């Protein structure tokens, strides 16, 4: 974090705050039974984008080793993919 511009970190922090607020608004829409899968996928996408910003900016890996960047972003991507698969199965399953 020492090699970053403080203004860039403040902008990243503000983007993260806005993403959290957007996630909170989306979670209110999750109460609507017509769009739970779309809302779930949108929330997972926001989570992945937040993880990417944290890894690249706050962990200081924007200029770091590529393998470490990919590994630290692949980890939440794997869990988001598993959660999306679970949500999809719950949506199309006749047993709910």
State percent of the chain over pLDDT 70: 90
**Contact indicator for 87, 41 with CB cutoff of 8 Å:** yes
Residue bearing the bigger pLDDT, 24 or 87: 24
Res 32: pLDDT: 65
pTM: 0.79
Average pLDDT over residues 76-82: 93
Per-residue pLDDT at 1 exceeds 50: no
Residue with tokens 């890996």: 61
Q: What is the DSSP string of 26-53?
A: HHHHTTSTTSHHHHHHHHHHHHHHHHHH
Residue with tokens 């962990």: 59
**Average predicted confidence (pLDDT) for the chain:** 85
């Amino acid at each position: 974090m020492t090699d970053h511009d403080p203004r860039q970190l403040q902008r990243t922090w503000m983007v993260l705050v806005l993403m959290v607020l957007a996630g909170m608004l989306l979670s209110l829409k999750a109460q609507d039974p017509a769009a739970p899968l779309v809302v779930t996928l949108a929330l997972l996408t926001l989570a992945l984008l937040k993880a990417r910003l944290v890894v690249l900016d706050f962990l200081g890996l924007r200029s770091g080793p590529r393998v470490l960047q990919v590994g630290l972003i692949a980890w939440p991507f794997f869990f988001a993919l598993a959660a999306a698969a679970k949500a999809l199965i719950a949506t199309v399953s006749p047993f709910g």
